[in-house]
Amino acid sequence: MTNYKPFMQAMLWTCKTCGFTYEGGQPKQNCPVCESYKTSFIDFPQHLEAQIREAHPDKSFNHQACRKMRMELMKEHGVTESFNVAGRVLPSVSGINSSPKNPA
């Protein structure tokens, strides 16, 4: 892992279906992009979000390229399986390394 440092306090609620993300304390009732119910939102790991920011520093938060990369990272890191959905207590971000479903 690179020298990741936290850059945001808020949760990064991310839609598993389309990659839409926003910062905030609570997930939205429905995804404004694909209309998935709020249980489709997960707390996206900030160290993965940091990779997206680095790859697309000139693009907006929910630019198509950023959402696409988010979807790829979620699949690559098994985020949708190892991270709890909205309404549940979230594990620490470091828990991703101990996930048995995380392919080595």
Comparison of 17 and 99: residue with beta carbon closer to Zn ion: 17
CA-CA distances (angstroms) from residue 58 to 48, 52, 53, 54, 98? 17, 11, 8, 9, 33
CA-CA distances (angstroms) from residue 82 to 65, 68, 91, 95? 24, 20, 9, 8
Q: Is 32 among the residues that bind Zn ion (CB under 5 A)?
A: no
Paired tokens of 31: 């995804």
Q: Is 36 among the residues that bind Zn ion (CB under 5 A)?
A: yes
Paired tokens of 26: 């609570």
Q: Is 13 among the residues that bind Zn ion (CB under 5 A)?
A: no
Comparison of 18 and 48: residue with beta carbon closer to Zn ion: 18
Q: Is 83 among the residues that bind Zn ion (CB under 5 A)?
A: no
- Least distance CB 69 / Zn ion (angstroms): 15
Comparison of 11 and 31: residue with beta carbon closer to Zn ion: 31
